[in-house]
Structure 1
Amino acid sequence: MADKFDEATQKELATFLEQEQAQARVHSSIHQFTSMCWDKCITGTPSTSFSRNEVNCISNCVERFLDTSLFMVKKIEEQRQQLNS
């Protein structure tokens, strides 16, 4: 099917697919850390608000997850640059 498109259209489609896949990975990561942090931090039955401990736990959990994710992305990018050098 891709053979029916010219090179510019094929590149545009490839770029679109890459962007959609990246967006799907972001959504998956958000779902993953939301679920993980909820299970770890919400200890009681949810009511109209969270306890102070739950709020602090969720905040710390999300921050650590993001810190770790950024660290991993940087390491992968460094490795990719070393391979391309």
Structure 2
Amino acid sequence: MVRDMDNSPEQAELMRLMEQEKEQLMVKEMVSKLTSVCWDKCITSTPGSKFSPGETTCLSNCALRFLDMSMILAKRFQMQ
């Protein structure tokens, strides 16, 4: 007797785990991209032990804008 694997609990769990891994990878990629973009934009000299107030503000603003745009794009793609 051949078991239907498409509807098995094991198959559902595997699909759930794969979706979780995919989401984690997307988050890691977003953090990597955000770090690269904002670092290049805001850090203009070799940093010391602390960021300057201007660098801190720039990094914060850059990260917020990046996340805002990511959310807007995600919503836009969900609508299509």
Cα displacement string for residues 2-34 of structure 1 (whole angstroms, at most 9, x for unaligned residues): x8x671101110110111111011011101111
Instruction: List runs of 5+ in structure 2 lacking aligned partners.
Output: none
Letter in 1 for 2:35: T
Partner of 2:51: 50
Partner of 2:20: 19
Shift, 1:57, TM fit: 0.9
Cα displacement string for residues 17-70 of structure 1 (whole angstroms, at most 9, x for unaligned residues): 111111011011101111110111111111111111111111111011001001
Instruction: List runs of 5+ in structure 1 lacking aligned partners.
Output: 80-85
The TM-score with structure 2 as length reference comes to 0.86
- Kindly report which structure 2 residues correspond to 1:3-42, keeping only aligned pairs within 5 A, or say none: 7-42=8-43
Q: CA RMSD in A?
A: 1.8
The TM-score with structure 1 as length reference comes to 0.81
Number of residue pairs matched? 77
